[in-house]
Amino acid sequence: MLSLLAETKYHKHVKAFLENNTDYRYIEELGVGSYGVAYLIEHSGSHKKYVLKRMKAKHRSKEKLRQKFNLEIQLLKEIGLLNTPSVISQGEIENIPFYIMDFIEGQTFEQAIFRDGNTFSLDQSLSITKQLLEYVVILHNKGIVHRDLRIPNILFKDDQLYIIDFGLASYIDKNIQSEVIDNPKRAQNHISDLYFIGHFLLFLLYSTYTPTIKKERSWQQELQLPEPVVHYIERLLLLGEPFSSAEEALSLMPLEYASSTR
């Protein structure tokens, strides 16, 4: 309850800060994560929309989390690609760090699948995953791993993919050995992003699946995919030999089952 009251209090601080110190106006709260809160705001002159993200109030005295929040800002600045939001400005509101970034007015794959009921065929799913991998290769070449490539964090607009929420991103640790990774989701190397991409691809493929029996089966049994596709996904999910890099995963995609465009 105290935590909720603290966050409600800081909502008011954010609104007051925008009104009294900036050319932006508050529109609405976009979402709350483990470490931060995001708001949709609008520039009063251009009427262009942006996102203000702040650290949660309850974390303001935790130096490690403050460092992590500042790392997120630093990484976004270093990435500098059209597929990710650009940082516009940063600062503090009542001792809470925040930054303002571009608002990408796209649709997440979570919304597309679960809210709007969109479906993705095998060839579409592979083509979309190829585009995602192409971006991830660029990201890894910049020495950065996202570590949270879930369907709420991947958007599409005009057939172009965008990646948001770099709150768990980190620099790549080249000294990590794949065989000793306990939790692939949190690995600070390519394994993490490829593991998430494997699950992302499965979400796309399951969008066309309708159960025919009540008994739950493995995805290999339920989806009835071509053997090369099954083998490829198993490697992404560490059920087979792991890929040595995102470049290798991209080069070995079974694209004979994918069209060149969505």
Spatial separation of the C-alpha atoms in residues 218 and 234, rounded to whole Å: 12
CATH number for 112: 1.10.510.10
Instruction: Give the pLDDT confidence of 77-126 residue by residue, as tens digits.
Output: 999 998 999 999 999 999 999 999 999 989 999 999 999 999 999 999 99
Instruction: Tell whether 36 and 121 lie within a shared domain.
Output: no
Which residues belong to the active site? 148
For residue 162, tell me if it sits in a domain: yes
Average pLDDT over residues 9-31: 91
Instruction: Tell whether 94 and 203 lie within a shared domain.
Output: no
Instruction: Tell whether 111 and 235 lie within a shared domain.
Output: yes
Q: What is the pLDDT of residue 262?
A: 39
Specify the pairing of strand 49-55 against strand 96-102: antiparallel
For residue 43, tell me if it sits in a domain: yes
The total number of structural domains that make up the chain: 2
Instruction: Tell whether 34 and 97 lie within a shared domain.
Output: yes
Instruction: Tell whether 239 and 201 lie within a shared domain.
Output: yes
Instruction: Tell whether 112 and 88 lie within a shared domain.
Output: no
129: pLDDT confidence band, cut at 50, 70 and 90?
Answer: very high
Average pLDDT over residues 201-212: 94
257: pLDDT confidence band, cut at 50, 70 and 90?
Answer: confident
Instruction: Tell whether 114 and 234 lie within a shared domain.
Output: yes
Q: What is the pLDDT of residue 178?
A: 75
Domain of 180, in residue numbers: 107-257
**Is position 56 annotated in a ligand binding site?**
no
The DSSP symbol for 113 reads I
| Domain stop point among 73, 102, 131 | 102
Instruction: Tell whether 119 and 249 lie within a shared domain.
Output: yes
Instruction: Tell whether 86 and 152 lie within a shared domain.
Output: no
CB 148 within 8 Å of CB 196? yes
Instruction: Tell whether 113 and 70 lie within a shared domain.
Output: no
Instruction: Tell whether 111 and 125 lie within a shared domain.
Output: yes
Instruction: Tell whether 70 and 153 lie within a shared domain.
Output: no
| Domain stop point among 71, 102, 133 | 102
Backbone phi, psi, residue 20, to 5°: -100, -20
Q: Which long-range contacts link 65-69 to residues 24+ away (Cβ below 8 Å)?
A: 65/35, 66/97, 68/35, 68/167, 69/35, 69/36, 69/97, 69/167
